[in-house]
Structure 1
Amino acid sequence: MKILTKKVRLVAAALLMSAASTTVAVAQECKNPDVIRFSMIPTEETTQELSLYQPLVNQIKAATGKNVEFFLPTSYASVVEAMLGGFVDLGMHGPYSYIIAQGNDPELRVIATYAKHKGHFQEEGPGYKAVLVARADSGYTSLEDIKGTVVGLTDPASTSGNLLPRVAFTKVIGADLEDYFSRVVYTGGHDLSGVAVIEGQVDVAFVATHRLDNVLDRGIASMEDYVVLWSSPVIPQDPFVVNGRLCPEIIDQIQNAFLTLGDSEEGRQYLENVNASKFVAMTDADYDIIRDLKAAQDAQ
């Protein structure tokens, strides 16, 4: 029996050594695709012609020497699923949808985000806020006034359009959204929420400041058409994320393409088109505030 036990231990040890060597071999391999697939969560910009993104695509092509294919998503979830499934190599997520994705795949890695220009509601820099807005002529001037009204959210995976309202805002009102409002509806996008308020489809809505600016820039409304009833703390802008299984030199090339985009006239035009001054480097730790908010929601 002792001999058998010894043999079993020797076999087990051999298997462990084999597994360890296999793990090292796998870890040393990296993904070097011929084509880099790129996707972004649905925003006001992504509904425009894809030519808007051509300068960024060209920069990534030049930096990596690879073709770039743009995958147009239908929802935040579709970008998450595409990255988790390995179909997409580079994606722009919302902060919350990134935390969801990264929780399922720790290999996902943040490389950059926008530093936005000061806008109508948007402040300068790589952060933004969620604001709760109503029509200026609605007569609503306090949170007590909107109790029992219809509120618009954007997407279940949105930071400013769902997570912050359900975590930070509910602490202010001392109740769940479904208990405080008569109805909670998802509009499908920040710009759609801003328009829904103006058109009376919802009484109030949570919108990201830089996305609400898009509605104003399109001429659909002006700042004077809205009243802000609540603002969130500043949170980091949407992260651009790569699959960490890409070869390190490719990741560095992609990140450098973002950080140097403003060096060309074409790149500067792209940044102006998305109301940004530049890209700045970001890390996973910059989104810990979102991770903490998600943990608080999960604990409810």
Structure 2
Amino acid sequence: MINRRSMLLAAAALAMTASAAAAQDYRTKYPELTFAIVPAENASGVTERWTPFVAYLSKELGVKVNLRIANDYAAVIEGQRSGNIQIAAYGSASFARARLTGVKTDAFASDLNADGGTGYYSVFFVNAKTPFKTIDDLKGKNLGLVDPNSTSGNNVPRFELDKLGISDADAYFGKVVFTGSHENAILALAQGTVDVAANQWTSDDDSTLAQMLTKGMLKHADGTPFKKDDFRIIHKSAPIIGPSMYAYSSDLPDDLKAAIAKAFMESPTKDKAAFDRLSDGQKKGFHAATTKDWDATIELIKFVDALRKKKAS
């Protein structure tokens, strides 16, 4: 005789079977996933920082996750476009660029700062020993940027310069160079290759510069280490969403998307060692995000594109 208890047990069994089948489905279709990172530091540093976290993701998702260190954001964008990259770490501007160019990618998480905030800034650093106090002092000098698709290292700096009346940075500065990474921009400034460098900054203790100083990566010609006071910020942007955000391919199965997001959110407690290695103690965790959160950044990219077209004409 079929009673209510039997029906409930049967329903529960069916639900468990369906859940197991769904999990098996994504693991069959995606026995491996590729997670792409663009280095803000040298490649070996990125590998050391991210490998434990990627191992954690593999364990949580039940499939092998491969770390890919891309040369630049353009490579990540094209990798997601072609389907060779399923999960990607972007900057706000590069994610907006991906969306603008038709890449099927959706945001699911962003960094949570140590103080619980979710934003950061683009700043212009100069050597504190120089007389430069404002952007006006730097006409004809050399500017170091990061990557054409970097938020804090190119797009926001150009937007900020335009607000200051400098619509053509290449004409205003003696030379504008893309250094390839946030670390390289700081190194170029420390070595005197550039007179001012654009970079990311959340606080004095949370920035690429802070990381490099902690690691002892910056040294004067005589071998003595640089200190925080050896650099000066002469301009800071309005708050930017980010700095890093994470997106998965839109075509992934819903259960896989949910599993990826869950693994990110739970990482600070489920594998504290891996998360701490990843964040260097500068981040508190991740917070949930949606693609719509970057609508304003897309408008920023459109603005920067318009500046380029104006210059070209």
TM-score, normalization: structure 1?
A: 0.83
In 1: Cα distance, 2:94 partner to 2:53 partner: 22
Deviation, 1:51, is 4.0
Deviation, 1:108, is 0.5
Q: Mark the runs of 5 or more structure 2 residues left unpaired by the alignment.
A: 1-24, 202-206, 219-225, 308-313
Q: Which residue in the other structure is 1:147 paired with? A: 139
Q: Which residue in the other structure is 1:40 paired with? A: 37
Contact 1:38 1:90 in 2 (8 A): yes
Q: Is residue 50 from structure 1 mapped to residue 47 from structure 2 by the alignment?
A: yes
In 1: Cα distance, 2:179 partner to 2:278 partner: 27
Identity %: 26
Q: Is residue 83 from structure 1 mapped to residue 80 from structure 2 by the alignment?
A: yes
- 1:26-175 pair list within 5 angstroms: 32-44=29-41, 46-48=43-45, 50-105=47-102, 107-117=104-114, 125-175=117-167
In 2: Cα distance, 1:298 partner to 1:146 partner: 24
AA aligned opposite 2:143 = V
Q: Which residue in the other structure is 1:299 paired with? A: 306
**Residues 196 and 138 (structure 1), Cα distance of their counterparts in 2 relative to 1, 3 Å cut:** same
**Residues 91 and 46 (structure 1), Cα distance of their counterparts in 2 relative to 1, 3 Å cut:** farther
Contact 1:109 1:244 in 2 (8 A): yes
In 2: Cα distance, 1:90 partner to 1:49 partner: 16
Deviation, 1:150, is 0.7
In 2: Cα distance, 1:105 partner to 1:66 partner: 28
Q: Which moved more, 1:144-153 or 1:269-278?
A: 269-278
In 2: Cα distance, 1:199 partner to 1:51 partner: 26
Deviation, 1:32, is 3.2
Contact 1:160 1:206 in 2 (8 A): yes
Q: Which residue in the other structure is 1:3 paired with? A: none
Count matched residues. Answer: 267
Q: Deviations over 1:196-218 (max 9, x none)?
A: 11110001111111222222222
Q: Mark the runs of 5 or more structure 1 residues left unpaired by the alignment.
A: 1-28, 119-123
Q: Deviations over 1:36-56 (max 9, x none)?
A: 111111212754162432332
In 2: Cα distance, 1:271 partner to 1:242 partner: 19
Q: Which moved more, 1:30-39 or 1:229-238?
A: 30-39
The DSSP-based 3-state class of the residue aligned with 1:299 is helix
Contact 1:147 1:180 in 2 (8 A): yes
Q: Which residue in the other structure is 1:20 paired with? A: none
- 1:279-298 pair list within 5 angstroms: 279-298=286-305
Q: Is residue 183 from structure 1 mapped to residue 188 from structure 2 by the alignment?
A: no
AA aligned opposite 1:109 = D
